[in-house]
Chain A
Amino acid sequence: MLDFLHDHYNYWVTIIIMMIGFYAVVAKSNLVKKAIGLGIFQTGIFLFYISIGKVDGGTAPVKVMGEQTDVVYSNPLPHALILTAIVVSVSTLAVALAIIVNIREKFGSIDEHDLNHLEAEQE
């Protein structure tokens, strides 16, 4: 059991971070907190990608000079992918905050319960 936990600890970290973020998205009624939750949720996935790029005994993926031919490198591709995904995540947060600012201006609140209430009145 302990081995199982230990051998997969990068996945456990990913799961815990993702669930913390997901909890914020589902349970918090403040829209800014929801947006932060989304950010945490995505960060969990980024860490997952980065951890799968690690190769046992692998060194940094920079060419080792000299005669050595049996060098093991870690996989750099997931890092490159995640750079793109981080940009996407930042843009998502920016769009979310822009919409939230607009909501504050039009409704006077960023609390989901208030918003539901205000919308129901408008019907």
Chain B
Amino acid sequence: MIPDQLQHQIPALIVLTPLVLGLITALIGRRGLGWWIAMLASLLVFAGSIQLLIDVMHSGTYTVSYLMGNWPVPYGIEYRIDPLNGGVLCTVALISAAVTLFARRSVASEVSRDRLHFFYAVWLFCQTGLLGITITGDAFNLYVLLEISSLATYTLVAMGKGRDRRALTAAINYLVLGTIGASFILLGIGFLYMVTGTLNMMDMAERLDAIYITWGTAEPQYQKTVLTGFAFLFVGVSLKLALFPLHTWLPNAYTYAPAAVSALLAATATKVGAYISIRFIYTIVGTDAAFRGAIPTHVFIMVSAGMAILLGSYLAIKQDNVKKILAYSSIAQIGYIALGFALDNKNGLTAAVIHIFNHALTKGGMFMALGVVAYRLGNTRLQDLRGLGRKLPVSMGAFTAGGLGLIGVPLTAGFVSKWYLVTGAIEAGRYEMAAIVLVGSLLAVVYVWRVVETIYFGKRDEGAPNVQEAPITMLVPMLLLIGASIYFGVDANTTSWIAEAAAETLLGVQP
């Protein structure tokens, strides 16, 4: 079907397609063409990443390695795909394709017409960065791609200025904190490079293992350097991931960005941050140094995650803008993911990986439903949503189904993740964390119910403008994601197969 030659090049093509097509979009400068090119790129990338994940899962060793320019490891840049980043790659590609389809009408109503082709160029650069971070096996390459995606993200958030000028201040706040985070990552990679002399992740991990052997002896080598490097990396990544208490940039950025951008960011950007965290802790530095060394990082993560779950959910209840409710809920959901990888056992890791995917589907779909509201009403204030359930039955139905997923009701994808998470917490003997997960779910009931009640039982104001259901290009991707989140809640075999394989490879269990 696909020529062999081409199939071997898929890892490179996944990153190059959006990059090159993005440049073309900006250079052609035809306003109408931007979206078509973006859509084409997203679909190609999606097809490629599915093919890649299938290759990985059926490749006995669970890895596919691609050498950029055929330079041997560790001199050249290696693209290395295992079940973890294969899964994250598919998540990013799926969400990007769905949100791009959604973006056409939504963005046209929020971004001025003569900027549209630039918008889609930056949109594609953002995808390039996110896909590149996920696929690369080189630590410095990861930093560069992280900055590509971040710079694109700041620009995309600032594009919301047409609707609300606060998008600009949100963007500059995000830029300042994001740049500090990225600089910390750069510094951390520098420390690790200093002791290992390599940038290839696998090579770095092997050389670090050789260093760790000396740590038990009378003369431990480079102990302080490695731990300092890891500390910088961890804080930097946590800023990108918006892990409590480094989440302050997130609510405003999500709230004032254009609707399609919120959907893309909420579903992919922080998820890729979680991936970087997992990759650095488990593959490169290793849990022996990260968790059981001089600094018990997992305890820090658990405290942060617990605070994120409780405070994020509590603050979500207090908000009056529905987009902000979802933004604070995202902070709580990031807490669940972080808790999953801090537990350091198979079920916890599986929960983190599977929740990256499940939450991306749910949140992406819900932000799209709010995009429909913004498209029809011009804002997303809770009071303006009164009685919208009868006016926008499909979108609001999708929002409600997504809300059930956030709570973690059985038969939704959210339930599967929380099942693994609670099992993992109990296995690790962390009963208090299991309790926090349950309390977080109860708080989610409150903030979801607050919106659902307004939508279905509120009365529309007299003389409120008559609104219609959204155009079909907005409904299809939204229903696709929400439908998928329910499908993977009922039949979780595929997702848990991949997530468990990812957890096993990370923990070094032979499949």
Contacts and interface: CB of A to CB of B under 8 A. Distances in A.
B172 A103 contact: yes
B92 to A, nearest CB: 21
Contacts of B187: 45, 48
A107 B186 contact: no
A45 B147 CA distance: 15
A107 B171 CA distance: 14
Contacts of B169: 103, 107, 115, 119
A92 B172 contact: no
B180 interface: yes
Given A48-B190, A49-B190, A106 B168 contact: yes
A106 B180 CA distance: 26
Interface stretch (B15-23, B154-162, B451-459): B154-162
Contacts of B113: none
Given A49-B190, A92-B147, A38 B168 contact: no
B175 A99 contact: yes
Contacts of B171: 99
A59 B166 CA distance: 53
Contacts of A20: none
B144 A99 contact: no
Nearest to A101: B168
Interface residues of A, number: 29
User: Interface residues of A: mostly helix, strand, loop or mixed?
Assistant: helix
Given A38-B176, A45-B186, A92 B151 contact: yes
The interface size bin for chain B is 20 to 34
Interface in A24-78: 25, 31, 34, 38, 41-42, 45, 48-49, 52, 78
B197 to A, nearest CB: 8
A38 B161 CA distance: 24
A100 interface: yes
Contact of B194 (A52, A81, A115): A52
A92 B154 CA distance: 10
Interface string B142-156: 011001000100110
Contacts of B399: none
Interface string A77-102: 01001001100100110011001101
B155 A95 contact: yes
Contact of B166 (A38, A49, A96, A119): A119
A52 B168 contact: no
Interface in B355-375: none
Q: Which 4 A-B pairs have the closest CB atoms?
A: A106-B165, A88-B147, A103-B168, A99-B172
Interface of A: 22, 25, 31, 34, 38, 41-42, 45, 48-49, 52, 78, 81, 84-85, 88, 91-92, 95-96, 99-100, 102-103, 106-107, 115, 119, 122
Interface of B: 140, 143-144, 147, 151, 154-155, 158, 161, 165-166, 168-169, 171-172, 175-176, 179-180, 183, 186-187, 190, 193-194
Given A31-B172, A95-B175, A99-B175, 15 more contacts: A25-B180, A42-B179, A45-B187, A48-B187, A81-B140, A84-B140, A92-B147, A95-B154, A99-B158, A99-B172, A100-B172, A102-B158, A106-B161, A107-B168, A107-B169
